[in-house]
Amino acid sequence: MDVPTPDLVCPDTTWAMGRVSSYGWGVWESRLHALFAVQCRYQLEDESAHLDEMPLMMSEEGFENEESDYHTLPRARIMQRKRGLEWFVCDGWKFLCTSCCGWLINICRRKKELKARTVWLGCPEKCEEKHPRNSIKNQKYNVFTFIPGVLYEQFKFFLNLYFLVISCSQFVPALKIGYLYTYWAPLGFVLAVTMTREAIDEFRRFQRDKEVNSQLYSKLTVRGKVQVKSSDIQVGDLIIVEKNQRIPSDMVFLRTSEKAGSCFIRTDQLDGETDWKLKVAVSCTQRLPALGDLFSISAYVYAQKPQMDIHSFEGTFTREDSDPPIHESLSIENTLWASTIVASGTVIGVVIYTGKETRSVMNTSNPKNKVGLLDLELNRLTKALFLALVALSIVMVTLQGFVGPWYRNLFRFLLLFSYIIPISLRVNLDMGKAVYGWMMMKDENIPGTVVRTSTIPEELGRLVYLLTDKTGTLTQNEMIFKRLHLGTVSYGADTMDEIQSHVRDSYSQMQSQAGGNNTGSTPLRKAQSSAPKVRKSVSSRIHEAVKAIVLCHNVTPVYESRAGVTEETEFAEADQDFSDENRTYQASSPDEVALVQWTESVGLTLVSRDLTSMQLKTPSGQVLSFCILQLFPFTSESKRMGVIVRDESTAEITFYMKGADVAMSPIVQYNDWLEEECGNMAREGLRTLVVAKKALTEEQYQDFEPMQSSSVEYTHSTYTCAHRRLPLCPQSRYTQAKLSMHDRSLKVAAVVESLEREMELLCLTGVEDQLQADVRPTLEMLRNAGIKIWMLTGDKLETATCIAKSSHLVSRTQDIHIFRQVTSRGEAHLELNAFRRKHDCALVISGDSLEVCLKYYEHEFVELACQCPAVVCCRCSPTQKARIVTLLQQHTGRRTCAIGDGGNDVSMIQAADCGIGIEGKEGKQASLAADFSITQFRHIGRLLMVHGRNSYKRSAALGQFVMHRGLIISTMQAVFSSVFYFASVPLYQGFLMVGYATIYTMFPVFSLVLDQDVKPEMAMLYPELYKDLTKGRSLSFKTFLIWVLISIYQGGILMYGALVLFESEFVHVVAISFTALILTELLMVALTVRTWHWLMVVAEFLSLGCYVSSLAFLNEYFGIGRVSFGAFLDVAFITTVTFLWKVSAITVVSCLPLYVLKYLRRKLSPPSYCKLAS
Instruction: Clarify whether 237 is annotated catalytic.
Output: no
Catalytic member of 237, 268, 375, 469: 469
Cα–Cα separations (whole angstroms), residue 410 to 403, 428, 984: 11, 30, 9
Residues 6+ apart with CB under 8 A from 35: 10, 12, 13, 16
> 282-314: b or e for each residue (b if 16 or more CB lie within 10 Å)?
bbbbbeeeebeebeebebbbbbbebeeebeebe
Cβ-in-10-Å burial (0-12, 13-18, 19+) of 763 comes to buried
Backbone CA torsion sign across 1020, 1024, 1027, 1028: negative
Are 1039 and 957 within 8 A, CB to CB? no
Short-list 553, 576, 549, 551, CA closest to 565 = 576
Are 637 and 531 within 8 A, CB to CB? no
Backbone CA torsion sign across 347, 353, 356, 361: negative
Phi, psi of 745, rounded to the nearest 5 degrees? -65, -35
Angle formed at CA 649 by CA 647 and CA 653, multiple of 5 degrees: 25
Are 310 and 270 within 8 A, CB to CB? yes
Are 1034 and 960 within 8 A, CB to CB? no
By three-state DSSP, how is residue 605 classified? strand
Distance of CA 966 to the CA centre of its chain: 42
Could you give the residue ranges of the DSSP H alpha helices within 567-687?
567-576, 590-601, 661-664, 674-683
Adjacent-strand bridge partners of 916: 899, 932
Cα–Cα separations (whole angstroms), residue 402 to 390, 391, 620, 959: 15, 15, 109, 36
Neighbours of 639 (CB within 10 A): 16
Say how many CA atoms lie within 13 Å of 1089 toward its Cβ: 23
Cα–Cα separations (whole angstroms), residue 731 to 629, 712, 737, 768: 17, 20, 11, 44
Neighbours of 811 (CB within 10 A): 13
Distance CA(409)–CA(427), nearest Å, equals 30
Cα–Cα separations (whole angstroms), residue 533 to 493, 527, 537, 686, 924: 32, 10, 13, 33, 58
Residues 6+ apart with CB under 8 A from 597: 481, 585
Distance CA(553)–CA(589), nearest Å, equals 9
Instruction: Supply the residues annotated as catalytic.
Output: 469
